[in-house]
């Protein structure tokens, strides 16, 4: 059984019932990072939002194929230079080396924020053949033209044939004339300024280049997502997502390419996350208006008074709905830190007390109502902030029981049990928050044990058996058992 969800579709600008194309299954494509420099916190907000969406869809009983690409070619700068080649020249590295380095950094960051890996993570450079094939299909259907070895999408023809170019972003084609930023260098080659490049002939100095029927060149940025979503999710799939700054031109052009190559739009629902702001302005790599995650975790930024841990930052991100902008400030981070600590304390209590309590079958309707409310908020376009207030209501009840203000019998043993397991499950599996102190304690104990075993080895080599036994017995009292074997000494909790 799957839960019934309603989600906001940017295409219709309305909340709609989520009805999968194939019952019980969902295909979701999310535009991934451009790996030409370090991922910034704004990017992280978008990927964390989609991680919660992905996790909730799984929790709601759907089988989800989640595809998130890596853009390692084709995302042009305003001056027409490929971002990857620019990164390469500045760093004196091969383009693939740059891509590898920042892809690795991105993955590390996604792990730090405790997000799940997508089901498939295709790279644009690994799908040049599929992209060339799509250009062929668009040319065959008459929606593209060739100019000096480059291929451009013919937007006036597309509009003339009754296709809705501009529907997603709400723009009209006349407005697009001045706004298109796509490959300005070759602007004069285009028949119309709102046309965009599908394939670009490489200049002498351009490093990333492939053979094609039109020229030795490289694909346009928008093409990769059309080609890869079609390859892994089919011509028609359920959800397409990304930050709302991608609506135009990227997503608008993706739709045009899909319609232009196969006759129909790719996705049924378009989900767009809102921006993370710094000083009231969009956080952006190219404008330099950013705090990097490492700066935030170490406290080394002029914008903050202290260090904030990754889970506190993630919890801060959950304070706003994914469709609302979120301004990062020191005050908001401090408030998030307090809230996060309170929640972790509740989880500790829930974990400690949950298994020992006997259930007598009593149920508390108020508690059931709060739990149902949390589900309902998540079903309603993934309203995490509202779900969080429900979580904090439960947290308040759990804390009052712990503090003796409320007796567990008063809420009914069954409700107490249910409340504990619900909050543990929801916070760990949907919000994917974890107690960092516990983790660092595990690391510290591991390090200390390595040290003690090493020192005891020296003692044993000096045949000081009394001291060696003293250490072993003292550890045993602390619940740690040492086992001396041929390969050395191992330890476990007895």
Binding site for ligand AMP (CB under 6 A): 31, 33-34, 42-43, 45-46, 71, 242-243, 245-246, 273, 275-276, 282-284
What phi and psi, each to the nearest 5 degrees, are found at residue 77?
-80, 170
Listed ranges 29-37, 152-160, 279-287, 432-440: which one lies at the site for Zn ion (CB under 5 A): 29-37
Supply the minimum distance, in Å, between the C-beta of residue 196 and ligand AMP: 16
Residues 76, 182 contacting (CB under 8 angstroms): yes
Place of tokens 């094939």: 133
Task: Record the tokens describing residue 197, joined without a space.
Answer: 């490049």
> Among Zn ion, ligand AMP, none, what does residue 391 contact (CB within 5–8 Å per kind)?
none
In this complex, which beta carbon is closest to Zn ion, that of residue 157 or of residue 272?
272
In this complex, which beta carbon is closest to ligand AMP, that of residue 180 or of residue 408?
180
> Among Zn ion, ligand AMP, none, what does residue 225 contact (CB within 5–8 Å per kind)?
Zn ion
- DSSP three-state, residue 481: strand
What phi and psi, each to the nearest 5 degrees, are found at residue 379?
-65, -25
In this complex, which beta carbon is closest to Zn ion, that of residue 254 or of residue 381?
254
Residues 203, 85 contacting (CB under 8 angstroms): no
The contact pattern for Zn ion, residues 210-239, with x = CB under 5 A and - = no contact, is: ---------------x--------------
Q: Give Cα separations from 103 to 76, 96, 100, 110 (angstroms).
A: 18, 10, 5, 10
Supply the minimum distance, in Å, between the C-beta of residue 10 and ligand AMP: 13
> Among Zn ion, ligand AMP, none, what does residue 283 contact (CB within 5–8 Å per kind)?
ligand AMP
The contact pattern for Zn ion, residues 399-438, with x = CB under 5 A and - = no contact, is: ----------------------------------------
Supply the minimum distance, in Å, between the C-beta of residue 127 and Zn ion: 12
48-77: b (≥16 Cβ within 10 Å) or e: bbbbbbbbbbbebebebbbbbbbbbbbbbe
> Among Zn ion, ligand AMP, none, what does residue 9 contact (CB within 5–8 Å per kind)?
none
Supply the minimum distance, in Å, between the C-beta of residue 290 and ligand AMP: 8
Supply the minimum distance, in Å, between the C-beta of residue 122 and Zn ion: 11
Supply the minimum distance, in Å, between the C-beta of residue 273 and Zn ion: 13
Among 5, 31, 311, 397, binds Zn ion (CB under 5 A): 31
In this complex, which beta carbon is closest to Zn ion, that of residue 246 or of residue 336?
246
In this complex, which beta carbon is closest to ligand AMP, that of residue 45 or of residue 201?
45
In this complex, which beta carbon is closest to ligand AMP, that of residue 46 or of residue 229?
46
Place of tokens 């996790």: 55
User: Sheet holding 326-328: strands in order across?
Assistant: 281-282, 276-278, 326-328
Supply the minimum distance, in Å, between the C-beta of residue 121 and Zn ion: 13
DSSP class of residue 250? I
Q: Give Cα separations from 98 to 2, 84, 102, 124 (angstroms).
A: 42, 7, 6, 14
Task: Record the tokens describing residue 395, joined without a space.
Answer: 């947290």
User: Sheet holding 217-219: strands in order across?
Assistant: 144-147, 150-153, 197-201, 217-219
How far is Cα 212 from Cα 224, in angstroms, rounded to an integer? 15
> Among ligand AMP, Zn ion, none, what does residue 34 contact (CB within 5–8 Å per kind)?
ligand AMP
Residues 75, 83 contacting (CB under 8 angstroms): yes
Cβ-based burial of 471 (10 A; exposed 0-12, middle 13-18, buried ≥19): middle
| CB closest to ligand AMP, residue no | 243
How many chain residues bind Zn ion (CB under 5 A)? 2
- Please name the residue ranges forming H helices in 169-321: 173-179, 221-233, 252-262, 293-298, 310-317
How far is Cα 35 from Cα 22, in angstroms, rounded to an integer? 33
In this complex, which beta carbon is closest to ligand AMP, that of residue 273 or of residue 408?
273
What phi and psi, each to the nearest 5 degrees, are found at residue 207?
-80, -40
How far is Cα 382 from Cα 321, in angstroms, rounded to an integer? 8
In this complex, which beta carbon is closest to ligand AMP, that of residue 168 or of residue 370?
168
Supply the minimum distance, in Å, between the C-beta of residue 380 and Zn ion: 27
Supply the minimum distance, in Å, between the C-beta of residue 137 and ligand AMP: 25
In this complex, which beta carbon is closest to ligand AMP, that of residue 284 or of residue 362?
284
Supply the minimum distance, in Å, between the C-beta of residue 257 and Zn ion: 11
How far is Cα 258 from Cα 263, in angstroms, rounded to an integer? 7
> Among Zn ion, ligand AMP, none, what does residue 282 contact (CB within 5–8 Å per kind)?
ligand AMP
In this complex, which beta carbon is closest to Zn ion, that of residue 150 or of residue 257?
257
Residues 211, 219 contacting (CB under 8 angstroms): no
Supply the minimum distance, in Å, between the C-beta of residue 283 and ligand AMP: 4
In this complex, which beta carbon is closest to ligand AMP, that of residue 9 or of residue 273?
273
In this complex, which beta carbon is closest to ligand AMP, that of residue 50 or of residue 426?
50
> Among ligand AMP, Zn ion, none, what does residue 371 contact (CB within 5–8 Å per kind)?
none
Supply the minimum distance, in Å, between the C-beta of residue 219 and ligand AMP: 15
Beta strand 25-30 with 63-68: parallel, antiparallel or unpaired?
Answer: parallel
Beta strand 144-147 with 150-153: parallel, antiparallel or unpaired?
Answer: antiparallel
Can you give the binding site for Zn ion, defined by CB under 5 A? 31, 225
């Amino acid at each position: 059984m799957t839960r019934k969800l309603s989600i906001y579709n940017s295409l219709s600008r309305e909340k709609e019932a989520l009805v999968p194309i194939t019952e019980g299954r969902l295909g979701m494509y999310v535009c991934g990072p451009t790996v030409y420099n370090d991922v910034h916190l704004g990017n992280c907000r978008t990927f964390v939002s989609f991680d919660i969406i992905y996790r909730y869809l799984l929790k709601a009983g759907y089988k989800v194929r989640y595809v998130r690409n890596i853009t390692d070619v084709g995302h042009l700068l305003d001056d027409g230079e490929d971002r990857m080649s620019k990164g390469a020249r500045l760093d004196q590295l091969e383009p693939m080396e740059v891509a590898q380095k920042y892809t690795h950094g991105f993955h590390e960051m996604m792990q730090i924020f405790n997000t799940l890996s997508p089901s498939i993570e295709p790279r644009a450079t690994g799908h040049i053949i599929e992209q060339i094939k799509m250009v062929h299909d668009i040319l065959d259907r008459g929606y593209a033209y060739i100019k000096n070895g480059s291929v451009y999408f013919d937007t006036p023809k597309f509009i003339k044939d009754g296709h809705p170019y501009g529907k997603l972003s709400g723009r009209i084609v006349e407005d697009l004339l001045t706004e298109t930023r796509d490959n300005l260098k070759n602007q004069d080659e285009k028949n119309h300024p709102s046309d965009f490049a599908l394939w670009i002939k490489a200049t002498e100095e351009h490093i990333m280049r492939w053979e094609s029927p039109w020229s030795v060149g490289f694909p346009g940025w928008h093409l990769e997502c059309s080609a890869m979503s079609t390859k892994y999710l089919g011509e028609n799939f359920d959800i397409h997502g990304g930050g709302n700054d991608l609506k135009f031109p990227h997503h608008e052009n993706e739709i045009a390419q899909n319609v232009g190559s196969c006759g129909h739009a790719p996705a049924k629902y378009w989900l767009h996350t809102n921006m993370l702001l710094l000083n009231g302005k969009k956080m952006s790599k190219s404008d330099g208006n950013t705090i990097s995650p490492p700066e935030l975790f170490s406290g080394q930024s002029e914008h903050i008074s202290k260090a904030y841990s990754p889970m506190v930052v993630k919890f801060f991100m959950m304070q706003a709905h994914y469709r609302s902008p979120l301004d990062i400030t020191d005050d908001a981070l401090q408030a998030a830190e307090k809230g996060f600590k309170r929640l972790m304390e509740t989880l500790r209590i829930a974990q400690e007390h949950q298994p020992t309590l006997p259930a007598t079958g009593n149920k508390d309707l108020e508690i059931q109502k709060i739990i149902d409310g949390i589900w309902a908020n998540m079903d309603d376009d993934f309203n995490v902030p509202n779900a969080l207030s429900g979580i904090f209501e439960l947290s308040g009840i759990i804390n009052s029981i712990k503090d003796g203000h409320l007796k567990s019998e008063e809420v009914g043993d069954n409700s107490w049990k249910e409340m504990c397991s619900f909050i543990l499950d929801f916070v760990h599996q949907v919000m994917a928050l974890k107690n960092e102190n516990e983790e660092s304690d595990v690391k510290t104990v591991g390090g200390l044990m390595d040290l003690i075993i090493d020192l005891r080895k020296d003692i044993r080599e000096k045949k000081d058996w009394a001291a060696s036994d003293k250490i072993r017995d003292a550890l045993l009292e602390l619940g740690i058992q040492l086992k001396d074997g041929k390969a050395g000494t191992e330890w476990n909790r007895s």
